[in-house]
Amino acid sequence: MDVVGIGNDIIEIDRIKKAIERNKNFKYKVYTDKEIKYAEKSKFPYNIYAGRFAAKEAISKAFGTGVRGFLLTDIEILNNELGKPDVILKNEIKKKYEETEIMVTISHSKENAIAMALIQKR
């Protein structure tokens, strides 16, 4: 399989926490309803939000475009039954990358969330 792109991102969890607390619309511009529901069930919702944000940024870097031509809510990251984050693309970005597989990994420390994404052709 051919690699289309790789990307990574790191973000301070507190930065996402402050953005959510300052602007109630921030969540809805960045996260899907399913992502919000998942995060809000957690004991550490801001870790989840920051990890998802880092993953979306890593994916946009792997696209080679950054966040251009799509919304962050067009990328949805949900955990499967084993806890592995799965990437679901929506709208135009889904059409553009329908022949690819996107893999992402997310990790957290006390202060930061980091993600790495790999896109390859099927």
Q: What angle do CA 65, 83, 19 make, to 5 degrees?
A: 50
Task: Indicate whether 80 pLDDT > 70.
Answer: yes
Reply yes or no on whether 29 is catalytic. Answer: no
- Give this prediction's pTM: 0.94
Average pLDDT over residues 83-99: 94
Point out the catalytic residue in the list 61, 84, 95, 96.
61
pLDDT in the model for residue 64: 86
Please give the residue range of the domain that contains residue 78: 3-121
User: What is the helix, strand, coil percentage profile of the chain, to 5?
Assistant: 40, 30, 25
Choice among 34, 108, 110, 121 that is catalytic: 108
Tens of pLDDT along 6-25? 999 999 999 999 999 999 89
Number of structural domains the chain divides into:
1
CATH number at residue 75: 3.90.470.20
* Bridge partners, residue 8, by sequence: 116
Is residue 90 annotated as part of the catalytic site, yes or no? Answer: no
